[in-house]
Amino acid sequence: MTIDRMPRDKGSEVHGIFQKIAGYYDRMNWVMTLGRHEKWCREVAARVAPPAGGQLLDLATGTGVIALAAARRYPTATVTGADFSEEMLRRARTKPGANRVRWQHADATDLPFEDESFDGITEGYLLRNVSDLDTVLREQHRVLKPGGRMVILETCPPSGITKPVMNWGVRTVVPLLGQMVARDRSSYSYLESSTLAFESPQQIARMLKELGFKDIGWRKKFFGTNVILWATKSR
């Protein structure tokens, strides 16, 4: 579970949070998921499956974990890692293999790419951090080629019989870990609130279907607090 992307200007507020947490972002992701985060990112990369020599976009790339996993898995593909946090991108560019990815500053609500530019799109923890979810999904649909696949890694509000326990855990443990590991309780309190308030996988799937996606599915992770969703743009 991570935070890559309130009243007032949510975009400016979230941008400020990600600029601030970039230095301990990877460490907190590892701690909060008990080391599972990179495995999930590799699964996202595996599921997008662009064609040989294809174009792949990783949105909300953060420090580039998904983008770098995709570049390793698909050596003939061109991978673009895009994020609105300049500091996150700076950190991504310092990682091993970073020269195999095209890093680009971009706003997910107004992507600087032509229609049908990409054979696949991946993203990690973007959707819960935007103020206009419909616009962000429409932009991804616009730049994705017909038949291309989108794969999403997101947090998931707890449900079922474990919901009371998991709600308590998210509300209590996440801000506490932020204080202990990163000395930053306030940023991770935002993570707690954005996770519990976010849409269910069923709701996201319905939005994707209305936009013209098909073959939609998802798999929950980590006691139902995270989810990987996938969908294919209709031809």
For residue 175, name the pLDDT band (cuts at 50, 70, 90). low
Q: Is residue 107 annotated as involved in ligand binding?
A: yes
Range list of H helices, the chain: 10-21, 25-32, 37-48, 65-73, 86-92, 133-143, 163-182, 185-197, 201-211
Q: Is residue 78 annotated as involved in ligand binding?
A: no
- Higher per-residue confidence, 43 vs 178: 43
Average pLDDT, the chain: 87
Rounded distance, CA 49 to CA 51, Å? 7
Specify if 143 maps to a domain: yes
Predicted pLDDT of residue 13: 78
Whether residue 4 has pLDDT greater than 60: no
Least confident of 44-53, 60-69, 161-170, 188-197: 188-197
**127-164 residues labelled b (16+ CB within 10 A) or e (exposed):** bbbbeebeebbebbbebbbeebbbbbbbbbbbeeeeee
For residue 55, name the pLDDT band (cuts at 50, 70, 90). very high
Per-residue DSSP letter, 218: E
Specify if 4 maps to a domain: no
Whether residue 192 has pLDDT greater than 90: no
- Higher per-residue confidence, 195 vs 104: 104
Let me know: does 20 contact 187? Beta carbons within 8 Å.
yes
Predicted pLDDT of residue 7: 33
Specify if 18 maps to a domain: yes
Specify if 202 maps to a domain: yes
- Higher per-residue confidence, 29 vs 230: 230
Number of domains in the chain: 1
For the chain, the straight-line distance linking the first and the last C-alpha, in angstroms and rounded, comes to 33
Predicted pLDDT of residue 195: 63
Predicted pLDDT of residue 6: 34
For residue 2, name the pLDDT band (cuts at 50, 70, 90). very low
Specify if 1 maps to a domain: no
Predicted pLDDT of residue 182: 62
Q: What would the two tokens of residue 123 be?
A: 């993203």
Full residue range of the structural domain in which residue 135 is found: 10-233
Whether residue 161 has pLDDT greater than 60: yes
Specify if 217 maps to a domain: yes
Q: Is residue 63 annotated as involved in ligand binding?
A: yes
pLDDT, mean of residues 86-109: 97
Q: Is residue 71 annotated as involved in ligand binding?
A: no
Q: What would the two tokens of residue 20 be?
A: 């601030």
Amino acid identity, position 109: T
pTM, two decimals, is 0.87
Rounded distance, CA 131 to CA 15, Å? 12
pLDDT, mean of residues 114-133: 94
Non-local CB neighbours of 152 within 8 Å, separated by 6+ positions: 44, 122, 123, 126, 127, 204, 227, 228, 229, 230
Specify if 79 maps to a domain: yes
CATH number of the structural domain spanning residue 120: 3.40.50.150
Specify if 160 maps to a domain: yes
Percent of the chain's residues with pLDDT above 70: 80
